[in-house]
Chain A
Amino acid sequence: MIDWLIHFALKLLETSRNVLPILAIIIGFQLLVIRKPLPHPKRTIIGFFYVLLGIAFFLEGLDLALFPLGSLMASQLTTPEFLGVNPFEQVVSWQAYFWVYIFAACIGFAAALAEPALLAVAIKAEQISGGAIQAWGLRISVAIGVSFGLALGAFRIVTGSELYLYIIGGYIIVMIQTRFAPKMIIGLAYDSGVVTTSMVTVPLVTALGLGLASAVPGRNPLLDGFGLIAFASLFPVMAVLGYAQIAQWRNKGSL
């Protein structure tokens, strides 16, 4: 218990150190430039402490439960015994990794739903759109995007194809969608992809990428293990733009 308390206190300290620069900037500008007291100082300070405590608990819990299991599973799913292939074979066909793609898709979907930053943006978007944008609709579309992106990213690591071809291709699709999507949603769609790659997704996805790149013959974990985050932040943009497009068509149809 004492050990654990010390461990947790260290985590809290680490979190505080990481947000210290931001806190200093906010306080500095508030005091020196704006020169007005905060509207509800006590409430704000308690709220800020909640944020710190929340992040510390969150990270502590992830370290304890999800991350060890996540990396264990990434390595279990890519062992030759599980794949049912000859361990000395140099070329393994990409179909053998079927369960890896499914796992990447499922974990991406679930991680996006657990992401606090996405929750924050979804709440804000629902508030300011007066309910026209549903927090759940937004989060589910983002989750579908992350899930498809990660499955494709895993496929890329297995086949060893060029990262930039996928990403540039994705950019072109996003630009075409931007041309036709309702104006109201564009900024939100762009942001929601990036927002998703945060506390839960980044460590889980990094573990998956490194595990996969070390397990597939001919891949170098240092070079091929990266790039999954880019997939996880690009595909939600397409998903949200697509969601808005479909919502618009359906509304027109019913009019």
Chain B
Amino acid sequence: MFKNPFIKQLFGSFLDLAPILAVVLVFQVLIIRQPVPDVGSLIAGMLFVILGLTLFVQGLEQSLFPIGESMAFAFARKGSLFWLLTFAFCLGFGAAIAEPGLASVAEKAAIIAGNANRIEQTDSAKAGYALGLRITVAVSIGLAILVGVLRILRGWPVYYPVLFGYACIAIMTPFAPSGIIGIAYDAGGIATSSITVPLVIVLGVGLATAIKGRNQLTDGFGLVVFATLMATIFVLAYGMII
């Protein structure tokens, strides 16, 4: 029973990864014209990636999707706005604060700020700056999920918050220190990881299903994009204030 779908999924993962392997090999051999270093670990690594992707998709459909869905339904039935919004905030905050990619970007941002003499050139000042930045991003993502859930409940069109986010970014950018702009623009994309995204998507779609008069497609999506825009806005503000 289990064997056939699993093998099918393994093959699907192989198809997903074949393009990246092809690009790397073609460029290395035909254009750069250098030998491929360490073929053994390349093959082993690709096998790991294929296995990993297969397990991830399997687990997602078996675990994260149903959890997110059942929680969305439970909150909708419970009807407590306060707890739903608290949950939305916690989910966004918790996901971003633990994201390793965000931590490494925050460290780079602290080095830039140090070089520009915006903060003291000491390790403790930089560590403080980096931690502050991570908390800022986490709060912004928590708030964004909260507002996004509120949007689904109220039935506002999905482009309202996005338009608002675009406008804020366009207005704030000219006033922000130049060193922070690139990081601010990238922060949102970095802070939303592979576990958060499926959970948030399912939460949105589940709420849109559970609430009468909402459409899964038109109302359920759009939570993640607002999270990244809010992260950009908050990082720009952080750069201006500190």
Residues of A within 8 A of B (CB): 14, 17-22, 24-26, 29-30, 33-34, 36, 38-40, 43-66, 68-70, 72-73, 76-77, 82, 99, 103, 106-107, 109-111, 113-114, 116-117, 119-121, 123-125, 128-129, 133, 163-164, 167-168, 171, 174-175, 178, 183-188, 190-191, 193-195, 197-200, 202-203, 222-230, 232-233, 237
Contacts and interface: CB of A to CB of B under 8 A. Distances in A.
B210 to A, nearest CB: 13
A34 B74 contact: yes
Contacts of A60: 45, 48, 52
Given A73-B32, A114-B16, A222-B111, A44 B60 contact: no
A229 B201 CA distance: 21
A65 B174 CA distance: 41
B202 interface: yes
Given A171-B169, A186-B222, A188-B217, 18 more contacts: A14-B100, A22-B91, A34-B75, A44-B63, A47-B58, A47-B66, A66-B49, A69-B36, A73-B32, A113-B16, A114-B49, A116-B56, A119-B16, A128-B216, A167-B185, A168-B169, A222-B115, A227-B182
B155 to A, nearest CB: 13
A62 to B, nearest CB: 6
B52 A61 contact: yes
B56 A21 contact: no
B198 interface: yes
A164 B173 contact: yes
A59 B140 CA distance: 27
A230 B185 contact: yes
Nearest to A232: B189
Residue of A25, A62, A70 ringed by the most chain B CB atoms within 10 A: A25
B46 A109 contact: no
